[in-house]
């Protein structure tokens, strides 16, 4: 039940009813629009109890759900973006960076490092969508490329969780170059016969889809994640046709052979553990 109250005093007939939603206890689901109990959502790994929609979560929350507790050895956390083009639109790029840092507590839109999942060592990269839409700045591309190389040096699998609007327009061509750089690094990882598991979360679009996200040996996605290159309006106007229902959502992509599996958030860690065991060619270790 939603805790909301209204009152009307006789002297103010014109005043609208006052609706108060108890702050913090209840949240509205972005998908089914139901008001749901926050604690229940948190318990389910930030998934709507009514419709199973996985809410967007931060990179830190993702890591907490996926990797073995306390196993992250973060790398390249000190790499920070410059403003090579002196870019300004409605705001200066430098100011946008500053407020993104304050908002997220991160230096850039990706966290990378060594970690363990079900005791298997891995290199992991997680995009932070709240940092300028998880856009791929030069530093983001550099951190990912270094993480890929680290997986090669350590001889461990690579896992990247994407949540991104694509290239960072404030860095122009320098951002686009990250697509080639990360793709080339992944090619070398493949030549070294090391697996790369890509996990697509809501939303994964633009240059990130067109590079790292879709180059996985295994590509997983969360339910109902928006996954695409250009937005639906642009595509619809280009091909001059209405788009089919569910277009650019995980389930649609799975049906059309673009993904290997759509995995509920609560099953993601166990799925990864099994995949890592498969690639390691040994049975999964017992759950600690
Ligand atoms: Zn819902």
Report how far ligand 1's centroid is from the alpha carbon of 55 (Å): 9
What's the CA-to-centroid distance between 8 and ligand 1, angstroms? Answer: 32
The alpha carbon of 115 and the centre of ligand 1 are apart by a number of angstroms equal to: 32
Question: Are residues 119 and 218 located together in one domain of the fold?
Answer: yes
Which residues have C-beta within 8 Å of that of residue 73, sequence separation ≥ 6? 113, 114, 115
pTM: 0.88
Distance 54 CA to ligand 1 centre (A): 8
Ligand 1 centroid distance, CA of 17 (Å):
27
For residues 213-229, average pLDDT: 96
Q: 19-75, pLDDT tens digit by residue?
A: 444 558 998 998 889 999 999 998 888 899 999 899 999 999 999 999 999 999 999
216 is a domain residue: yes
Residue 141, in any domain of the structure:
yes
Residues 6+ apart with CB under 8 A from 144: 110, 112, 125, 160, 178, 182, 185, 212
Q: How far is the CA of 187 from the centre of ligand 1 (A)?
A: 39
> Is the pLDDT reported for residue 234 higher than 70?
yes
Distance 261 CA to ligand 1 centre (A): 22
With respect to residue 287, please indicate whether it lies within any of the assigned structural domains.
no
**Residue 285 covered by a domain:** no
User: Is the domain of 66 the same as that of 151?
Assistant: yes
Number of domains composing the chain: 2
24 and 51 fall within a common domain: yes
Residue 45's pLDDT is 85
Question: Measured between alpha carbons, how far is 219 from 231 in angstroms, rounded to an integer?
Answer: 21
| 193 and 256 part of one domain | yes
How many CA atoms are closer than 13 Å to the CA of 242, on its beta-carbon side?
3
Q: Looking at 1-5, 187-191, 274-278, which range is the least confident one? A: 1-5
52 Cα: distance to centroid of ligand 1 (angstroms): 6
Q: How much is the pLDDT for 15? A: 46
62 and 129 in a common domain: yes
221 lies in a domain? yes
Q: Is residue 129 part of a domain?
A: yes
Q: What's the 39 CA to ligand 1 centre distance in angstroms? A: 14
CA of 29 to the centre of ligand 1 (A): 5
pLDDT digits (tens, 9 = 90+) for 122-151: 999 999 999 999 999 999 999 999 999 999
* Residue 64 and residue 46 share a domain: no
Residues 109, 38: one domain? no
Residue found under tokens 């419709």: 51
Q: Are residues 99 and 80 in the same domain?
A: yes
Residue 96: the pLDDT is 97
Which pLDDT does position 24 carry in this prediction?
80
Query: What CATH number does residue 183 fall under?
Result: 3.90.226.10
Q: Average pLDDT over the chain, rounded to whole?
A: 90
Asked if the model's pLDDT at residue 2 lies above 60, the reply is no
| Host domain of residue 35 | 1-55
For residue 116, report the distance from its CA to the centre of ligand 1, in Å. Answer: 31
Of 169-173, 181-185, 262-266, 279-283, least confident by mean pLDDT is: 279-283
CA of 59 to the centre of ligand 1 (A): 21
């Amino acid at each position: 039940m939603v805790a909301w109250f209204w009152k009307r005093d006789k002297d103010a007939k014109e005043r609208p009813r006052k609706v108060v939603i108890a702050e913090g206890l209840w949240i509205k689901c972005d998908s089914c629009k139901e008001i749901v109990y926050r604690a229940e959502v948190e318990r389910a790994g930030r998934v709507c109890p009514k419709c199973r929609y996985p809410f967007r979560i931060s990179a830190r929350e993702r890591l907490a759900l996926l990797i073995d507790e306390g196993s992250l050895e973060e790398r390249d956390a000190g790499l920070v973006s410059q403003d090579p083009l002196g870019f300004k639109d409605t705001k200066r790029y430098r100011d946008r960076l500053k407020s993104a840092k304050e908002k997220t507590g991160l230096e850039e839109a990706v966290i990378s490092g060594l970690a363990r999942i079900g005791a298997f060592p891995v290199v992991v990269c997680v995009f932070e969508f709240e940092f300028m839409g998880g856009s791929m700045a030069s530093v983001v591309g550099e951190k990912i490329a270094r993480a890929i190389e680290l997986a090669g040096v350590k001889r461990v699998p690579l896992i990247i969780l994407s949540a991104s609007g694509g290239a960072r327009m404030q860095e122009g061509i320098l951002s686009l170059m990250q697509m080639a750089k990360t793709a080339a690094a992944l090619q070398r990882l493949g030549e070294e016969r090391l697996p790369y598991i890509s996990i697509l979360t809501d939303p994964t679009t633009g240059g990130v889809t067109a590079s790292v996200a879709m180059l996985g040996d295994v590509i997983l996605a969360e339910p109902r994640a928006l996954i695409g290159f250009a937005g639906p309006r642009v595509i619809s106007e280009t091909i001059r046709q209405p788009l089919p229902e569910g277009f650019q959502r995980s389930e649609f992509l799975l049906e059309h052979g673009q993904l290997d599996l759509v995995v509920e958030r609560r099953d993601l860690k166990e799925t990864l553990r099994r995949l890592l065991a498969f690639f390691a060619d040994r049975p999964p270790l017992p759950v600690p």
